[in-house]
Structure 1
Amino acid sequence: MKPRVLIVEDEAALVAMIRYNLEKEGYRCDEATDGNEAMMKVAEERPDLVLLDWMLPQLSGLEVCRQLRRNPATRNVPIIMLTARGEESDRVRGLDAGADDYISKPFSPSELTARIRAVLRRIRPALTEELLVSGDITMDLAAHRVTRSGREVRLGPTEFRLLRYFMEHPGRVLSRDQLLDAVWGRDVYVEQRTVDVHIRRLRKALNSREDKDLIRTVRSAGYALESAA
């Protein structure tokens, strides 16, 4: 499952171009047109990466970057700043505010996607690797194969996507709504209890008699994947 990218940009044509090229590469995209909306979107669902324009209405991109870095819940979210400012002093200000990378406009779609891959590979390697590992569970994305302590785990397509999302967000409590959006998609109507059914199937497949149950139920909040250690 590709990372979710929040595009924060007030130029509609540029947003459309970025979104088209990222979705073509398999990324999931959301968008905001000003700084306040960006903060609201991040609070609703933390993205895997933020593409952040410097010059924004209401709240500047620089201030959005600072606020995200000050918040413990978002301080590790990768941020790439997009701006027409090309001076070295401006790049330094952006990086000092907490940006992980900086792209000057105009830029090519191939440069943008390469920068995104590089930042994610450096900061969130689990999102770009072909092999995901969490405790004694290993997921080979290329071979579509899961093992636990060397034992092959047979999963259906939905359980595979569910486990992948858990492994990309280890230890994080994920609500049923988050799991529905990530695994089933926002355009598909599925009841929340469907998540519980597939969680039970996933648990049954992962756990033999001697295995610890790694999927923790958090009452009124959701589920989290714990480390076998």
Structure 2
Amino acid sequence: MNKVVIIDDLVDSCSVISEILSPYFECKSTSESHSALDLILEFKPNIVLMDYQMPRVNGAELCKSLKENPATKDIPIIFMSGVATEDERVETLELGGDDFIAKPFHPKELILRLKKRIQGYTVKPPIDNHAVIANVNASTLAVGNLKMNLNSRLVYVNEREITLTPKQFEILKLLIENQNHLVSRSTFMEEVWGHFEVTPRNVDSQINYLKKKIEGFQGIITAVPSFGYRLDYKM
């Protein structure tokens, strides 16, 4: 059974959500956001469901800590809130959040969103080392001085390791796979964010972060006004 960590400063909310999810997931919850990281490291959940506005350590701060920790950076995060502004919702995406659900929510919607996000991040079984060596080209994307390992999800520019969020990794992968061809914003929204209510602004924001992180890359990520982006690289 897939595992969920629920983080909400209201104890009653934790109890209600746990009751909704327990027939479908193994749940653990905490109302102490400052100790949530320890719970996540110990429980090793498939997904984290957290409130956005919490005392001491808010959702944005906790998300940032999770995405910076190698042991938790790939765990999907769904935020929930009844009062978050549009800018705050955008902030959760920029920090690496995978979805946002408004309170009050329909139990079935919450369950379906959790299942979809877990499905998208299912851990693959170990790959035989000999198969990796024999199929190295299929597991590695390279453009000029930039390399992406699709198995380890490591990215390098001039052998310098680059830390990307899961969404930034998928954006870069799409650009490299479509090198010198336009990738529309709608394609990014569908392939990277799935069904989530994302806007072109989210795409632009993540690509701006990505361009800063891969500084020194010999190629160029070019914006095509009103359409999307293209990764240009010439030998």
Q: Give TM class, smaller chain.
A: 0.5 to 0.7
In 2, the alpha carbon distance for the partners of 1:65 and 1:59 equals 10
Of 77, 81, 91, the match for 1:79: 77
1:124-203 equivalence runs, <5 A = 124=122
Q: Where do 1:83-94 residues align within 5 Å? A: 83-94=81-92
Query: Does the alignment pair 1:96 with 2:97?
Result: no
Distance in 1 between residues matched to 2:99 and 2:11, nearest whole Å = 22
* Cross-structure match for 2:6: 7
User: What SS is found at the alignment partner of 1:24?
Assistant: coil
Which residue number in structure 1 is paired with residue 110 of structure 2?
112
CA deviation string 1:69-122 (max 9, x = no partner) = 011111001100111234321210111111110011111111100110111122
Q: Are the equivalent residues in 1 in contact too, given 2:52–2:84 (CA < 8 A)?
A: no
Partner in structure 2 of residue 21 of structure 1: 20
The one-letter amino acid paired with 2:87 is S
Distance 2:126 2:73 in 1: 23
Change in 2 beyond 3 A, CA 1:74/1:135: closer
2:9, 2:33 within 8 Å by CA — same for their partners in 1? Answer: no
- The answer for unaligned runs of 5 or more in structure 1 is 127-132, 137-229
Question: Which residue of the partner structure matches residue 189 of structure 2?
Answer: none
**What's the counterpart of residue 225 of structure 1?**
none
The number of residues matched between the two structures is 129
In the TM superposition, what is the alpha-carbon distance from 1:9 to its structure 2 partner? 0.6
Cα gap change, 1:44/1:101 in structure 2, threshold over 3 Å: closer, same or farther?
same
Q: Which runs of 4+ in 1 moved over 4 A?
A: 133-136
Q: Which TM-score applies when normalising by structure 1?
A: 0.52
The CA deviation string for residues 34-74 of structure 1, in whole angstroms up to 9 with x for no partner, is 22121121222321110011111211111000000011111
Give the equivalent residue in structure 1 for 2:35. 37
In structure 2, runs of 5+ residues without a counterpart are: 129-235
Aligned to 2:22, what secondary structure does the other structure show? helix
Say if 1:10 and 1:63 are closer, same or farther in 2 by CA, change over 3 A. Answer: same
Supply the RMSD in Å over aligned alpha carbons. 2.0
State how far apart, in whole Å, the 2-side matches of 1:48 and 1:92 are: 23
User: Could you tell me whether the CA contact under 8 Å between 2:14 and 2:30 is conserved in 1?
Assistant: no
Residues 47 and 75, structure 2, Cα contact 8 Å, conserved in 1: yes
Q: Give 1:10 deviation, angstroms.
A: 1.6
Query: Following TM superposition, by how much is the alpha carbon of 1:13 offset from its aligned partner in structure 2, in angstroms?
Result: 2.3
Percent of residue pairs bearing the same amino acid type: 31
Q: Distance in 2 between matches of 1:105 and 1:14?
A: 11
TM score, norm. by length of structure 2: 0.51
